[in-house]
Amino acid sequence: MYFSGVTQNDIKEMYEEIIDNTDEDIRGFADMIEKILQQNYISVVGAEQHIRENKNLFDSIKTFKNMI
């Protein structure tokens, strides 16, 4: 946690946000998720080194840093 800058408070806030979700909140994402699935994209999250070692399996590789 030290190296990533994540604090105990950050973890607590994320936990509370997850726990506070209702069935209705989750169902509210259905339309967005359906649209994403229709685009036939596949996303992989993992160790950058391993993804780069297997770059021939991907059309493109984007890091979170490049997406923000």
Helices (H), the chain: 8-19, 23-27, 30-38, 48-53, 64-67
For residues 4-14, give the mean pLDDT: 90
Q: What angle do CA 60, 14, 45 make, to 5 degrees?
A: 20
Over the stretch 15-44, which tens digit does the pLDDT of each residue have?
Answer: 999 999 999 999 998 998 888 889 877 788
pLDDT category, 13, cuts 50, 70, 90? very high
